[in-house]
Structure 1
Amino acid sequence: MSEGNGKRALIDALKACGAVKFGDFTLASGKKSTYYIDIKKASTDPATLKVIAKEASRVIKGLEIDAVGGVVLGGVPLATAVSLEANLPLVLIRKSEKGYGTGGRFVGDFHAGSKILLLEDVTTSGGSVKDAIEAIREAGAVVDRVITVVDRDSGAEKSLSDIGVKLVPLVRASDLI
């Protein structure tokens, strides 16, 4: 599937599953918006999740990556689907350390120097994913790229660039609205 066809298929799938909503919304960043991109709705629809996984896998083909990662909860189905599609190990990042069982902040194995590509559902300011990047880097792994299903063009690209991370949007909000 070519870049244009994959992007078009993703746009069509996001609209068809009802992931694009209009109204008055408050985003995780605290900003107000007249539209909302509900990637959780998309990632629980098998057909749409498959399109996301195929498009993300196409984007990462040929890159040197040891694992794909996602932040609990929204990034889990996305990273899992891409892990399966691209045949790469999976790393899940908790928002905080688990205080019971084996503890820890990560599910999945990686080591110092591992290159982990993060999957994000929607980026606005980039704040949500920056904490995960910091935790992975503190554990000795490398994160220099984040794939987001939808970028709202609201500063995430610059914010992540400032910490040496390239944001790769599969689509931009302007493609959807």
Structure 2
Amino acid sequence: MNAIEQQLWDYIDGNLDGSAKKAIEEKIESDAVIKSLYEDLVKLNSAFGELDLDEPSMSFTRNVMESVATVPAPVAMKTQVDKKIIYSIGGFFVISLLALFGYVLYNSNLSMPKFGFNVNLNFNLDQYITSTVLYSFLFFDLVIGLIFLDQFLRKKMHK
């Protein structure tokens, strides 16, 4: 819909103020194309006014409610943990442990002179275990403990 059609519809509906109304009336009187468009829109508006609105039958609401009542109610789903998630978490920890073991072996000096087993681990734990690492480990354990406590209490509540 272009601007002139919108203005003509506003004019037909009576939504224009005085100055805009006079401007549209002048356009209708001066331009034959706009006048024919105006007349077509007036005919269309009168045709819309003569239409009877269809009403639903008296039992429409009852029929809809009966059809809704016949549909079975949805059953609440029990949450299940996907086994892929459990396997991925377990795999993450296995890979982490293997990486830590490899790091320890890489930084250690293993030598076996004359069938003797002499392991020299030059590994300074104070360098790697700082208070931040310790607090992070304890925080992680606390979160896991709270999750397990929550699951335990939920199981007790359902019994």
Q: Same fold (TM over 0.5)?
A: no
Question: Taking structure 1 as the reference length, what is the TM-score of the superposition?
Answer: 0.18
Q: Which has the larger radius of gyration?
A: 2
Q: More helix per residue: 1 or 2?
A: 2
Question: Taking structure 2 as the reference length, what is the TM-score of the superposition?
Answer: 0.20
Q: More strand per residue: 1 or 2?
A: 1
